Structure 1
Amino acid sequence: MNLTFDFAFEGFRIIRERPKLIAFWGAITLFGYGVMSLIMVHVAGPQIMAFVKMIIAQADTGSAGVDQAFMINISQQILLAGLMCLPVHVVMTSVVLGAVCRVAFGETDDRLGFLAFGWQEIRLIAVKTASLAVIAALFLGVALVGTMAGLLIGGANSQAATGLQTLGVIAGLGAAIWLSLRLSLNGPHSFDSQSLNIFGSLAMTNERFWSLFTGYATATALAMVVRFLCDKIIEAVQVLSLGLRVTGDMIMPDMTSIVSFLTPASVIALALTFAVVAPLMAAIQLGAPVAAYRALKGRTPVRKVKEEAAR
């Protein structure tokens, strides 16, 4: 089957036809992102704020020096916080993906916004976890090759070693993006076949890299536009409800502690972002691979079936 560019807009169609899904999916994203935000603040909040202050100070003074020990500490805390957030993100994304699959594949029971938690969601969690593990292993493997090549050729402190390490990281990122795209259909595939199918996506995406890449890039860009516009609306709500001036604190709240993080302005912004903006972005970004899978499988979109029946 040919893959048309139309799949990139599936998320917009879903929300346009069923706007009430935002309320149901927003409850899931509000809880998930809320928990992840608290984890980030508790585990790495002070380090994140110290890093932001360092960047601002360097921009003001024009200096570029970095304390290596300081950066290592920041990186370790942020990595730890990210790893603690990862299970929450995987579960949340898998539950919403299951709902998106039900909408796109034509199920009609939308009492809870197509949300459920059963074997399908457990299967999606397993597929997502396995995919992330494989992608991370590929990235680390390619990056490690660059590091080892630099050490063998120029030694630990040479410019050649630094250059090859950087090249290895860039190549690793490229390989990770390539594999992410090639595995992007394994969630919808596993949902549709009701089986754990991690690598079946490779055959479906063969020779379709650029078609998928263009569609996903478009969906991501549209999601960023939606996020930008919604952020401006949220800022207006903060100004009107609390009488605040538009400042950088609205965009970057104080993460030094949970108490300083949960100010009225921050709570309003987080609640609106996680409950309204996040489900919109999830529909756009998760809807694209589901629609791509449906197109490659030769399924007729549900809306077209209804249009033909109405005629």
Structure 2
Amino acid sequence: MRLDIEFVFEGFRIMRKRPWAVAEWGLVFLVANLIGFGSFAALAIPAFIQMSNLSGTPDPAVLAGLFGSLILPYFILFIVMILAGAMVSCAIFRTTLSDDKPGFGYLRLGGDEIRWILSHIVHALLFFAVYAAFAVVGVALGFVFRLIDENLFGLGIFLAVVLGFGVTVWLMIRLSLFSAQSFAEKRINLFGSWKLTKGNVWMLLGGYLLAGLLAVVVETVVMTVVWFFLAIFMVANMGALQTLGSAPGTPDLAAIAWMVGPMIAGYVAVFSLVAWPVMTAIMVGAPAAAYRTLNGARAGAVEKVF
């Protein structure tokens, strides 16, 4: 089955038909950021402060202890954001590929989300193996070229990098429907999309590039608005910031946090509630719609958006 470029705009179709669901996905991202970055700030900032206060040659044991204390906050942040991504991505799949009852934004936390996480872990390991293989090939080519001429070692590395990049992009496109297909089939299926994407590589490549461009446009618009208001906030509080900066002795971290905190909170809130759900709808909706079309499931649901 041939694919139409209309699959790129699935995210906009979702936003038009299910705006309340997109808003609820924003709440998920907001809660995830509050938990993830909140715990990170509470657990990691003291370690960063201790590092900044170290003078002279620090004791390696002390440094190791401080770096070790950062493992837990990073782990919590990673787990929370992975869960949020899994929940929202599967919610997008439900709006596109199934007739499940909406509930709260089509959101669940169950087998679909666990499969999403596991399939992405396996997918990441697969491409790590591909990168490692091309690294070995690059070194081997470099030494082969070096036998011909010592100045050609870099050329061998360069050719391997170019070849590896091209093969990796091609593989990513051929396997790009694995997440949607695993959701639809209720089992992890990494290579099932190989058959579905046959003959549609260029359309998928162009569509994914267009979807990425649209997501960047959304991010740029949101960032422009956010930075405009942040600039107004900075100008309004310039005097207080200058006073804090020129104060003698150790900076008052509590006062700095009181000044900067609202800016960071506003930035995180806007991105969580607006940018991330919209960008996720665009980037996840595109392969979901492509899978729906190429698999022949609910083909009638594909409609013109613009």
Please classify the TM superposition score into its range, dividing by the shorter chain length: 0.7 to 0.9
Contact kept, 8 Å, 1:219 with 1:284, in 2: the verdict is yes
Q: What is the distance in 1 between the residues matched to 2:160 and 2:39? A: 34
Q: What is the aligned partner in structure 2 of residue 233 from structure 1? A: 225
**Match of residue 280, structure 1, among 273, 278, 281:** 278
Say which SS state the counterpart of residue 13 (structure 2) adopts.
Answer: helix
Structure 1 residue runs of 5 or longer lacking an equivalent are: 47-79, 246-257, 306-311
- Find the counterpart in structure 1 of residue 114 from structure 2: 122
Shift of 1:222: 0.7
Shift of 1:195: 1.7
String of CA shifts for 1:2-35, please: whole Å, max 9, x gaps: 2111000000110111111233211332344563
**Displacement after TM superposition at 1:143 (Å):** 2.3
Do the aligned residues in 1 keep the contact of 2:293 with 2:302 (CA within 8 Å)? no
Distance 1:2 1:239, change over 3 A: same
The runs of 5 or more residues in structure 2 that have no matched partner are 49-70, 238-252
CA RMSD of aligned residues (A): 3.5
Q: Distance in 2 between matches of 1:241 and 1:201?
A: 49
Q: TM (normalized to structure 1)?
A: 0.71
Are 1:151 and 2:143 an aligned pair? yes
Q: Which moved more, 1:161-170 or 1:83-92?
A: 83-92
For residues 180 and 89 of structure 1, what CA distance do their matches in structure 2 show?
Answer: 23
* Separation in structure 2 between the aligned mates of residue 304 and residue 292 of structure 1, nearest angstrom: 10
Change (3 A) 1:149 1:188: same
Structure 1 stretch displaced more, 26-35 or 278-287: 26-35
CA displacement at 1:111 relative to structure 2: 2.3
Larger mean CA deviation between 186-195 and 34-43 belongs to 34-43
Q: What TM-score comes out, normalization by structure 2 length?
A: 0.72
1:155-214 Cα distance to aligned partner (Å, 9 max, x none): 8xx543333324333332332222221111111111111122111111111121101111
Give 1:102's aligned residue.
94
Report whether the alignment pairs 1:268 with 2:266.
Answer: yes
* 1:263 counterpart SS class: helix
Aligned residues of 2:141 and 2:160 also touching (Cα < 8 A): no
Measured in 2, the distance between the counterparts of 1:226 and 1:147 equals: 40
Letter in structure 2 aligned against 1:28: V
C-alpha spacing 1:304/1:149, structure 2 compared with 1 (3 Å) = closer
Secondary structure of the 1:20 match is helix
Give distance in 1, aligned partners of 2:289 and 2:236.
Answer: 42
- CA contact under 8 A between 2:145 and 2:156: conserved in structure 1? no
The verdict on how the C-alpha distance between 1:39 and 1:145 changes in structure 2, with shifts beyond 3 A counting, is farther
Measure how far apart 1:230 and its partner are.
1.2
Q: Deviations over 1:103-146 (max 9, x none)?
A: 01242522210010111111111111111111121122112211
8 Å contact from structure 2 (residues 142, 154) kept in 1 = yes
Structure 1 272/227 Cα, relative in aligned 2: closer, same or farther at 3 Å? same
Letter in 2 for 1:7: F
Q: Is the 8 A contact 2:97 2:298 kept in 1?
A: no
Match of 1:207 among 199, 202, 215: 199
Contact kept, 8 Å, 2:8 with 2:286, in 1: the verdict is: yes
- 1:161 and 2:116 correspond: no
Which amino acid counterpart does residue 276 of structure 1 have in structure 2?
Answer: V
CA contact (8 A) 1:149 1:164 kept: yes
